[in-house]
Structure 1
Amino acid sequence: MTYKKPFAALTIGLLCSLSSLSFAADEPSVTLDRPGAGAVEMKIGDIVPAEYQRESLEIKDWKNRKLKAPEQHEQWVEIKGKYMLISVPTGTIKEMVDK
C-alpha cells in the first residue's frame, strides 16, 4: 500500500511529459544551420536572421501561393520549405505555413 502514492505521482508525471511532447511536435518550426552559432530552431514568435528581412526576398505573389495578405510592415519569405510571415522592423515570425 505504500507504493500507491509514488506510483500515482510517477504516472501523472509521465502523462504530462508525453502530452507536452505531442504538443511540441504540432508547432511548426524550421532549423537553420548558422555558421558560428550551430543549428538554430525557429518557430512563431522567434526573430529571423537579418538577411530574411530584406525586401529582395519578399514573396510578392502571395495571392498565387494562397497566402493571406501581409499587413503594413510585414512580408512573406520562404525559408527551408516554409513560408513565413515576418514583421520587417522587428524580424519576428508571425505565421508559418508549409510550402
Structure 2
Amino acid sequence: MMTYKKQLAALSMGLFCSVCSFAYAADEPSVTMDRPGAGAVEMKVGDIVPAEYQRESLEIKDWKNRKLQAPGEHEQWVEIKGKYMLISVPTGTIKEMVSK
C-alpha cells in the first residue's frame, strides 16, 4: 500500500512528464497541408511528403547559400509552406525540417 507521500510523488512525476512531452511536441516543426480528399494533414519529420515533392524539378540546388547541410545520396531539399525539408527521394520520407 502506497503512502500519501509516495502517491503524491508519483502523481507529480506523471504530470511533469506529460507537460514535458507536450512542450516538446509543440516545439517539433511541422507543416499543415490541405490535401484533396484528406483535408488538412500535418506533416513532421518521419512522415512521407506527397509524390509531387519528390521531383527533381523542385529540388533546392543552392542549399549552401541557404545554410542547409549537404543532402546525402538519394536525398534532396525542397521547400514546402515556408519550411525547408530534407527528403529521401526513393521513399519521400521527411528526414529533417528547418524553418526558412
Please give the TM-score of this superposition, normalised by the length of structure 2: 0.86
How far does residue 80 in structure 1 lie from its aligned partner after superposition?
A: 0.7
Matching of residues 1-99 of structure 1 within 5 Å: 7-99=8-100
- Paired with 1:78 and 1:33, the residues of 2 have a C-alpha distance of 16
Distance 1:71 1:15 in 2: 38
Aligned residues: CA RMSD: 1.6
Query: Secondary structure of 1:14's partner?
Result: helix
Structure 1 gaps of 5+ residues are none
For the residues of structure 1 that align with 2:11 and 2:32, how far apart are their CA atoms? 33
Identical-residue share of aligned pairs (%): 84
Give, in whole Å, the separation in 2 of the partners of 1:88 and 1:62.
16
| Alignment size in residue pairs | 98
